[in-house]
Every structure is written in C-alpha cells, then in structure tokens.
Amino acid sequence: MSDVVQSTIVDASPTGVPSAMTERPLRVAGITGLGYYVPRRVLTNAELERIVDTNDEWIRTRTGISKRHLAADDESTADLAEKAARQALRDAGVSPQDIQLIIVATCTPDYQGFPSTASLLQDRLQCSCAAFDLGAACSGFVYALVTAQQFIATGAAQNVLVVGAEVLSRIVDWSDRNTCVLFGDGAGAAVLQAVQPGYGMLGFDLGSDGSGGELLKVERGDGAGLDTGAEHIGLLTACRNRIIQNGREVYRFAVNVMGESALRALHTCGIASEDVDLFVPHQANVRIIDAAAKRLRLPSEKVFVNVDKYGNTSAASVPIALCEAREQGRIRSGDTVVMVGFGGGLTWASCVMKWV
C-alpha cells in the first residue's frame, strides 16, 4: 500500500478486457469528518449485580468495564447510525447529497436480511447513493474503511460515509454472566475523501479464520421469553437471537491477533511501531488491549482506551474511540494512527492512517 499513490490503474471495458485508454493515479482516502452517538441510558456494574451472579470488582479487574450505554426500547441501530452520521457529515463539511457510498458495519441490523441499515440511513439522510451493510462483527468498521479506500482509490467514489453502529443489548443473553457484562450500544461514523499524497490510509491487513466461527456466534432465538430477572431493571428479556462465546478461547485469539495484525499493517507501509503516535484498538477488554500494546512495544500514552465507559460496542467501538481521541487532542494532523479490530468470524482488520 505504501506505493498506492504512485500506482496506476487501467480502465477495463464492460467485458473485462482492459481498454488501456486512460490511466490515472490511484488516490488515497483519509478521514475528514468524525461523529458518534451513545444512547442516554447507562447500565452500571452495580445494576448487573442485581440480575446475574457477578460483582463490580470482578467486572472491572477482568475486563476494565465500569458501565455501558443501552438503547431505549424505541431506539434502533439506524437511529444511532443517523445521529453519528449527521455529526460526521457536519464535521467534514460535506452535504449528504455529495455522498456516493454508505457502508454500515453492523452485526445488529434493524432487519434480518433486508432492508440493510445502510439503505435505511441513505433514505433518512436523503442521499442519492449506493448503500450496503458489511458484516465482520467487531472488525467491521476497519473492514469498511479499507473497502471505502478501494472505491476512492479508483475514483469510483469521492465521498464515502462509513458507519459502525450496534444495538448489541438486543442480542445479549441477560441471564449469562459470561457475556452480559461485556457489551454496550453505540454508533460512530467517518467521512472518507481523497487526501494529499503521504496522508490517509497507508497500509492495512484484513483476515478471517472461519474455523473459529463456533467460538463466538449469534444463535437464533425462538422469540420465547427468558426468565432472567433482567426485566426488574428495565431490560427486554424476550429471547431473540443471542451471543454465545467461549471467552477464554476468544481472549487467546484476540491477544495474538491484535498485535500481529497491527504489525502486518505497519509492515505493508514500512512504518516501525515506534513511529506510531496513537494506537486505537477495538475496545473489548483492557487486558487484551494491554497485551497488544505490549506486543507492539507501545507505552500507555500511545494507546487509547475508553472500554471503561462503553464496554464492547462491536463495530462502533473504533470510531467512537477515534472521536474521543480527537476531542481529547490525542490525534492531530500528521499523526500516524493504527486502528485494529478483531471479532466474530473469526475476523481481524488493521489499518495505518496518516491523519490529515
């Protein structure tokens, strides 16, 4: 990817035979606008103590999570996505009519199958553009950034809206202490545009290992009610689909893949890990983040962590973290930022961006 700016493409005819008529340089996409939204309702560890056999101390020491935000009963993934997207568009100074493509990374779409959450968002924003959902669980946002880069590189799109949005609380089994303490709801969005040479996406690494699919999956529910006690604190318990995971195995996978994938992405653009200004990892568990940072030999001031406030918001976690990092002045123009996601599939995704 390091030579992407210098590369050329040859236009292909509709039959796939290169016409070789026009050559144009590939372009590089950068993030020019960011936005995020989390629902108002906060669920604390103390409230979880009332529905499963757990305690605040265990959750904080084993995961780093203190609280998470949950969508209201009438709030959907598209609602969260819309709020984050409008903020990102304002931040970039781009009108919805100028967007050519919307990608929504989500594993909790409003509808099973269709319409996609991206199409719902396209209608709400009144964009005239292509729109599709991307399913790569917690790696989804970084997968979507890399996908957007390909459209921008070829000139197929000038302005792409990438959103990570989740209402995971609807697929959490509130009777399972192994999983219900981990997840939260939220959305983050980014506008991508072509940027000047040397900036934007310099390298990436994407991967999948479906042989580990059973370790982390969403099982289809029959819609029957679950007797969990969660309704006492206002949580929906009619069991729809639910997250099932082998926590220990996912932990082992995550600790290895986060550091390794980030290093591969850095290798593709010839950047050393000591030259990274900020590492923005998927926020699943502070111990996983610490292990990845150690593998990359990054000091804690170069690692962004906000899992304590939001829990694991899957595809929304990296864009929410990017927004907060920038708000806190921890991402500035010219910084080298590395993002890494891992999750169900199993999947992983990393990218290196020189911030515009």
- Catalytic amino acids? 138, 282, 312
* Alpha carbons 289 and 280: distance in angstroms, whole number: 9
Q: How many Cβ atoms sit within 10 Å of the Cβ of residue 286? A: 18
Q: Are 207 and 254 in contact (CB under 8 A)?
A: no
Q: Are 187 and 70 in contact (CB under 8 A)?
A: no
Instruction: Choose which of 71, 105, 181, 258 interacts with ligand ACO (CB under 6 A).
Output: 181
> What is the pattern of x (binds ligand ACO, CB under 6 A) and - over residues 269-308?
---------------xx-----------------------
Q: Are 81 and 163 in contact (CB under 8 A)?
A: yes
Instruction: Choose which of 77, 108, 116, 314 interacts with ligand ACO (CB under 6 A).
Output: 314
Check binding of 251 to ligand ACO (CB under 6 A).
yes
Check binding of 254 to ligand ACO (CB under 6 A).
yes
Q: Which stretch binds ligand ACO (CB under 6 A): 4-12, 176-184, 189-197, 264-272?
A: 176-184
CB of 178 to ligand ACO, least distance (A): 5
Q: Which stretch binds ligand ACO (CB under 6 A): 19-27, 95-103, 243-251, 321-329?
A: 243-251
- Interacting residues with ligand ACO between 131 and 150 (CB under 6 A): 137-138
Check binding of 343 to ligand ACO (CB under 6 A).
yes
Q: Return the SS3 of 252.
A: helix
Instruction: Tell me whether strands 159-166 and 186-195 are parallel, antiparallel or unpaired.
Output: antiparallel
> Who's near 41: CB < 8 A, 6+ residues apart?
69, 70, 71, 72
Q: Binding-site residue total for ligand ACO (CB under 6 A)?
A: 23
| DSSP 8-state symbol, 221 | P
Q: Return the SS3 of 175.
A: coil
Q: Which stretch binds ligand ACO (CB under 6 A): 72-80, 177-185, 194-202, 330-338?
A: 177-185
For residue 234, the one-letter residue type is G
* Alpha carbons 254 and 60: distance in angstroms, whole number: 19
Check binding of 248 to ligand ACO (CB under 6 A).
yes
DSSP H or E segment with residue 148: helix 140-154
| Polymer length of the chain | 356
Q: Which stretch binds ligand ACO (CB under 6 A): 17-25, 173-181, 292-300, 348-356?
A: 173-181
Tell me which residues touch ligand ACO (CB under 6 A). Answer: 54, 58-59, 62-63, 137-138, 177-178, 181, 216, 245, 247-248, 250-251, 254, 284-285, 312, 314, 343-344
